Amino acid sequence: MPWERTATAWETHAMVSAPADGPARTGAATRLLILGCVRIFEPVHGYFLRRELVEWAVDRWANVHPGSIYNALRSLARAGLLEEVPVAASGARPKRTAFALTDVGDREYLELLRSSLATSIDPVLFAVAVNFATDLPRAEVVALLRERVDRLGAMIAESDEMVAAMLASATAPPATTEVPRLLAARLAGELGWVEEYAERVGAGAYSFAGEAPDWVPSPEQITEAREAGAGMTRRDLPRTGLDIE
């Protein structure tokens, strides 16, 4: 049947929505988002993390409800990907718990980031991966994006073959070809953007792992973040040369 051939062909190049193991428990996109954000500000309180992600408008583009962030933090801690860091009371503030990545959590974050950039067909997961792509070396990101370009191109070519086969078949109405046409059109739009993004990255846009930062927060922003519960001991802030201790 044409639809059986369609399903088989679209799985050929293994564009995947998420690994089938741990990430599915929390949701791969949420998992990557929380781990990536904690990694920036760790050790970080749940309240600050929630506030930061609300400012990122994750409820609009990442399908993450702000109220679910605390549950996600606890779930990732139970899974051994985050560790709880006690923080002493300060002034009128009670003793609170902050979170930081474990070594296992850091490895899983980077592995999920790499696989999501190259192979995820889930648009939300891919968007989150693009958001944190600068956590990887520039050359690696370009290589992962080129792998994605190849996969997308192959899937689009297969869709053309499927449409031709379905039109030649007498077992399904011709109108059924519109679904693979629609999917191919979406993939073609993404393919064009990925090619442009890879070109910009390859030409030197943005700052990636191991490079000097292309943006430095002001001392006021650092003070505000620390007062709100961010440790900010990793990634860009230590490279700015600002005294954040």
Q: How far is CA 91 from CA 44, 100, 219, 244, in A?
A: 18, 23, 22, 19
* pTM of the predicted protein model: 0.81
* 200-225 mean pLDDT: 87
pLDDT of amino acid 89: 59
| Extents of the domains making up the chain | 2-237
pLDDT of amino acid 242: 35
Q: With bands split at pLDDT 50, 70 and 90, how would you rate the model's confidence at 4?
A: very low
pLDDT of amino acid 95: 66
Q: State whether CATH 1.10.10.10 applies to domain 2-237.
A: yes
Q: Examine the pLDDT at 226 and tell me if it is beyond 80.
A: no
CA–CA gap between residue 133 and residue 137 (Å, rounded): 9
Helix (H) or strand (E) holding 194: helix 178-202
* 196-213 mean pLDDT: 96
Least confident span in 55-64, 134-143, 210-219, 221-230: 221-230
Q: Examine the pLDDT at 79 and tell me if it is beyond 60.
A: yes
User: Residues of 64-86 as b/e, b for ≥16 C-beta within 10 angstroms?
Assistant: beeebbeebbebbbebebbbeee
Q: Which residues have a Cβ under 8 Å from the Cβ of 15 and sit 6 or more positions away?
A: 119, 120, 121, 151, 152, 155
The two tokens of residue 68 are 């679910």
The two tokens of residue 138 are 């520039």
Q: Examine the pLDDT at 23 and tell me if it is beyond 50.
A: no
